[in-house]
Amino acid sequence: MIDKSSHVPIYVQIEELLKKRIYMEEFKIGESIPSERELSDQLGVSRMTVRQSVTNLVNSGLLYREKGRGTYVANPKLEQPLNGLTSFTEDMKARGMQPSSKLIHFEKVIPSVDIARDLQLEQEELVFYVVRIRYADRKPMAIERTYIPVKVFPELDEKKIMGSLYALIEGNYRQKIGNAIQQMEAAIVTKEDSKYLQINNSSAVLIIKRTSFLADGVPFELVRSTYRADRYKFISEIQR
Ligand code: 16G
């Protein structure tokens, strides 16, 4: 199985072997793989080398470790297209997952200068500041910090924001959502967000900042969404 005379490094061969066993579903999602000691015995290679291969697969998101328990096959990352203006609720439903939210914060505030500028607000114009943890099948996927100009949706309240914001805008408020501008960047999760997302302190996250406009060009939200990097992959189709 392992060819020690090959020019392909042994740790790469082990990675390939483990991947194959995962893809063939010999090791299924959520199940543990053999321990590093068992693998080193099975393959006739050192534990150090096995550890390197397993660590690489953990870093690429195929496996995850649980302290003191073992190494498990991870759920494949969600592939999120970047080219449609969809809501979290729509995205999760389209995958057959059950979306839900937990409202952490809801307040009317005077926005910072930057937020006011992005939302084209005059000085002292208020926004709703909303923080929601977004879940898919009860697992935390993202945290969204949303700023919504009060003058655009004055009737918004804590109850109404419990469901889908976009469904509320298009259904109840009968407004058309037009377009949005997004920026994406990588970061290390903050201590606060690591608790909400149930991930380690040093984990990577992907942050998307979206400014969205109604069809008539009025900006209606500025959102900073923090996604678990171990659960998300962003995909875009490009053409030449
Ligand atoms: C998405 C949007 C966010 C929007 C939310 C509405 C990104 C980066 N962000 O998460 O801007 O506010 O959906 O979701 O995609 P909802 O209708 O389920 O409340």
The answer for residues whose C-beta is within 8 angstroms of residue 57's C-beta and 6 or more apart is 15, 18, 19, 63
pTM, 2 dp: 0.85
197 and 205 Cβ atoms separated by less than 8 Å: yes
Nearest CA to ligand 1 atom 16: 164
Which whole-number Å values give the CA distances from 224 to 143, 144, 170, 184, 208, in the listed order?
8, 6, 21, 10, 6
Instruction: Give dist(CA 176, CA 161) in Å, integer.
Output: 18
Does the CB atom of residue 71 touch ligand 1 within 6 A? no
160 and 128 Cβ atoms separated by less than 8 Å: no
Per-residue pLDDT of the chain (240 residues; tens, 9 = 90+): 889 999 999 999 999 999 999 999 999 999 999 999 999 999 999 999 999 999 999 988 899 998 889 999 998 888 899 989 999 999 999 989 999 999 999 999 999 999 999 999 998 899 999 999 999 999 999 999 999 999 999 999 999 999 999 999 999 999 999 999 999 999 999 999 999 999 988 899 999 999 999 999 999 999 999 999 988 889 999 999
Q: Which of 77, 41, 85 is nearest to 176 (CA)?
A: 85
CA 61 / ligand 1 centre spacing (Å): 24
Give the phi and the psi of residue 189 in degrees, each rounded to 5.
-60, 145
Nearest CA to ligand 1 atom 8: 208
Does the CB atom of residue 226 touch ligand 1 within 6 A? no
Does the CB atom of residue 128 touch ligand 1 within 6 A? no
Does the CB atom of residue 165 touch ligand 1 within 6 A? yes
Rg (CA), the chain: 22
Does the CB atom of residue 100 touch ligand 1 within 6 A? no
| Long-range own/partner contacts, residues 55-58 (CB < 8 A, 24 or more apart) | 56/11, 56/15, 57/15, 57/18, 57/19
Does the CB atom of residue 87 touch ligand 1 within 6 A? yes
Helices 47-59/10-23 angle, 10° precision: 60
Nearest-atom index, ligand 1, CA of 146: 12
Instruction: Give dist(CA 169, CA 180) in Å, integer.
Output: 15
The DSSP 8-state label assigned to residue 22 in this structure reads: H
Any idea which residue has 């534990």 for tokens? 47
Instruction: Give dist(CA 160, CA 189) in Å, integer.
Output: 29
